A and B are shown apart, each in its own frame.
Chain A
Amino acid sequence: MKLLITEPTNNIIFGLYKAAEKQHDIVVLKAGVSIYQVLDSVKVDYFICETQQLTQSIISALNEYNIPTIVFGLGIDFPQKQLTVLLSEINPIILKNHNGAIYYLKPAAHCATWEETPSFDILYVAENTDDLPHLHKIVKEVTDKDYTLKIVGPVPLPFIEYVGNATYDEIIGLITVSKITILTTPTYVYDVAYRKKFAITTFKNEFFTASLDELTHYMMEEKHRNSAAKKANKIISDKDIYIARFNEIMEKVSCK
C-alpha cells in the first residue's frame, strides 16, 4: 500500500510512522510542498496526518481526490472514508456529531533502531524542570558511589551529567545500554518493559514499583533488577508495540 504522511510532530505518532515504514510504501508530505503536486505524480491509498497539520488546501485536495484519511486528533469531518485516532478517552458529548470512526490508541513500545553506544549505569529521562528536586538527590548519591549517570531531556538542566536533548531513537538506544532508567513520565515505560530492562518510576504504573530510595539497592542487586525487568516484560505482550497498533488502525480504516 502507498501511504502519504505528513512529518510527525510527537513521539507517539513518530512511533506509528516508524512502524508504517516497515510494512508500507511511504511518501512524506514535507512542509511547504503542495499536496496537489504529490497527488498528481503518485497514486496514494491512504493519507495520514495530525489535525493541526490540516490546511485548507490539504482538505480540498483530499476531497477532490477522494482519498481515505487517518487523522490524529479531533478535527474536520471529511465526506470520504475517515478514521480519527485519539490518544486518550474523550467526553462522548464532544463526539456526538462526529461522522468518522474513532480508534483509541493505547500506549505501546517503539520499534526504532539505534546506534550502539557504550554501556553505563543510570539514565535519567528528564522531561521537565519539575524533576529538579529528584535530580539533586540522585546526582549526589550517584557521585558519592561513583556510578555513571546520563541525564537527557529537552530543557537544559544545571548538572554536568546533563548531556542534551535526545531523539526518541537515541533514548531507546540509551535505555538499552543502561542498567537502570529513571522515568518521571509514562512516555518510555512500555519501551523499557518491552526491552526487558529495569526502570524506577516516580508515577504509578503496571510495570515497575521500585522507588527512588531503592536506587542503590537495585544498582547492587543485579538479580533483583533482572527479575523485576522480566516481570514487567511478562505484562507487555506482542500486541503492545507500534507495529501491532498500526495494523489495528489499518484494519479499522479498511473495514469501515
Chain B
Amino acid sequence: MQIKNFAFLVNKLDNSHAMTTMTHNLNLLVLSNAEYSPIVFHQTSGKVLVYPQFPHMMLQHIWGYEGTIFSVDINTTQLLLNNCMRATRKIFYVFDLEWAHQGASQFGALSHIYQNPNIELLARCQEHYNILKRVWKKPIGILEDFNSEQLIKLL
C-alpha cells in the first residue's frame, strides 16, 4: 500500500468554522483510511474545538515537504508559491472570495496568485466554481467544506 501524502497550509489552527470543519474531516479520513497521511502546517495556533488526530506543525517545517499541498487563502498561497520547492502539486482551496471584499487591490498581485500556472484552483461550491471560472481560471473541482470523500477523489 502506497501512502498518499498531502498537507494543508493555514494561517492559524483554531476554532474558526473553516479550521473546525477541516480538522473534523481530516480526522474522519485518517481514522477510516490508513492510506492517507495528512499534515497541517500553520503559522500560529489557538484553541481548538476538535482535537486533531493527525500531525500538525509550524510553518517553518514545510520547506522540504514532498506531496500535494493545499493553501486556504491569498496569504498562505503566497507562502506556498515561494517556499514549497518539493511540493508535487500546489492547490489553492479558495475557501473565501477574498478579492471581492479587499477594497482597492492591485490586479497584478491578485493575478499572480489566481492565474499562476503553478497553482491549481479548487472551489468550495458550484457558485464559487462558476465565479472562479468566469473571473480567473477554471478550478480543478469542488471541495465542499473540506469534505473527506471529495478530498480523496482529488488526491
A interface residue numbers (CB < 8 A to B): 117-118, 142-143, 146-150, 152, 154-156, 160-167, 170
Contact = CB atoms under 8 A, between A and B. Distances in A.
Nearest to B133: A148
B110 A163 contact: yes
A162 B101 CA distance: 10
A166 B107 contact: yes
- Between B99, B102, B115, B135, the greatest number of chain A beta carbons within 10 A of the residue's beta carbon is seen for B135
B103 A152 contact: no
Nearest to A166: B107
11 contacts: A117-B115, A143-B134, A147-B134, A156-B103, A156-B105, A161-B135, A164-B108, A164-B110, A165-B105, A167-B107, A170-B107
Contacts of A148: 133-135
A58 B132 CA distance: 50
A161 to B, nearest CB: 6
Contacts of B107: 152, 163-167, 170
Given A117-B115, A163-B105, 19 more contacts: A118-B115, A142-B134, A143-B134, A149-B135, A152-B107, A154-B104, A155-B104, A156-B103, A156-B105, A160-B97, A160-B100, A163-B110, A163-B111, A164-B102, A164-B110, A165-B107, A166-B106, A166-B107, A170-B108
A144 to B, nearest CB: 12
Chain A at the B interface: SS class: loop
Interface of B: 97, 99-100, 102-111, 115, 131, 133-137
B103 A163 contact: no
B135 A146 contact: no
Contacts, number: 56
B135 A163 contact: yes
Contacts of A164: 99, 102, 104-110
Contacts of A160: 97, 100, 131, 135
- Between B100, B104, B111, B136, the greatest number of chain A beta carbons within 10 A of the residue's beta carbon is seen for B111
B120 to A, nearest CB: 14
A167 to B, nearest CB: 7
- Between A142, A147, A152, A165, the greatest number of chain B beta carbons within 10 A of the residue's beta carbon is seen for A165
Nearest to B97: A160
A146 B134 contact: yes
Contacts of B131: 160
A163 B108 CA distance: 9
Contacts of A165: 104-107
Nearest to B134: A148
Nearest to A159: B100
A159 to B, nearest CB: 8
Given A118-B137, A149-B135, A161-B134, A156 B104 contact: yes
Contacts of B136: 163
Contact of B135 (A150, A166, A170): A150
B121 to A, nearest CB: 12
Given A166-B107, A170-B108, A149 B134 contact: yes
A55 B30 CA distance: 68
A147 B135 CA distance: 9
